[in-house]
Amino acid sequence: MVQELVRPAKLPRGAAPDSAWAFLDGKFVPIREAKISVMTHGFNYGTGVFEGIRAYWNAEEEQLYGLHLREHYSRLLRSGKIMRIRIPHTVDELVGITVDLLRKCGYREDAYVRPVAYKSSPVIGVRLHNLEDGFTVFAVPFGNYIDIDKGIACHVSSWRRVDDNAIPARSKITGSYVNAALAKSEAEEAGFAEAIVLTQEGHVSEGSAANLFLVRDGKLLTPPATDNILEGIVRGNVMRIAADIGLAVDVRSIDRTELYICDEMFMCGTGVQISPVTSVDHRDVGAGEVGPITKRISKIYFDAVRGKDARYKDWLTPIYKA
């Protein structure tokens, strides 16, 4: 039986209730006991890799569905390979740990799962070699990160996306997200909801921490992996949905000014989900409202992640036993 969540009346978004659990150093512990040293290498130097995984609550079925658990953990292992971090678990084992964790937390609402693999040695010195590795995963209740209904206002950031030959964007490296944080804060403090970052060459890369799709002349456009994007899992979902509804997708470099003349635009990612963009740099996207193609893709996606579309059941892992 799924237990009701016990939490303070005003739990900040992204914070963990006292009833939450974590998996750390090979065992489950209450979230308040999941602690590391201030000397931990990953804390001091950003030498860690992570994933963001959503779990969606279906109230009618009283079921929590983990979204793309295998795909996320496969990517985590690839990120670890780039950063020379050994994760002592297989994908199947990581999926099992996550299912057990969510069952212990007992959430009856949408949740966010954060696995982190990191250099755990308590030492000073910049390197990746001759260091111990650690792994943890925890889960918190989590709703919408940014608006998914009305459309958001974006601006082109003054900060450029990190390059593959500097800090690889295809790996979710903890330290690299200062790039996203700089762009995100600049956008919000200037009155926008999100940032769009460019490559060093001036092509459109992605949002601060989300992939980007444009609609032009009835076709989807999205930047290629070589324009320093994260090879997003939800990006792949959008492409599958597009194929299922007969919508062409063109993967190519996108110029900045195409942001100003496209018909529709949306960001996508595990955190942002499907978030329509209705203006960029004070210029309306299309008619300045959420467009029909974005609405159609969004409807299919949100039905899928809550287990309401049988075509996409392979995306989901049921958490609670029937």
Q: Given 27, 104, 119, 172, which residue is catalytic?
A: 172
* CA–CA distance, 256 with 95 (Å, rounded to integer): 39
The reply to whether 299 belongs to the active site is no
DSSP secondary structure string for all residues of 253-316: --BTTHHHH-SEEEEEETTTEEEEEEEETTEESTTTS--HHHHHHHHHHHHHHTT--GGGGGGE
Cα dist from 130 to 5, 86, 120, 230, whole Å: 42, 12, 11, 28
Amino acid at 45: Y
* CA–CA distance, 50 with 209 (Å, rounded to integer): 13
Token pair listed for 152: 């958001």
Taking CB atoms within 8 Å and a gap of at least 24, the contacts of 244-247 are 244/300, 244/311, 245/296, 245/297, 245/300, 247/218, 247/219, 247/220, 247/293
**Residues with active-site annotation:** 172
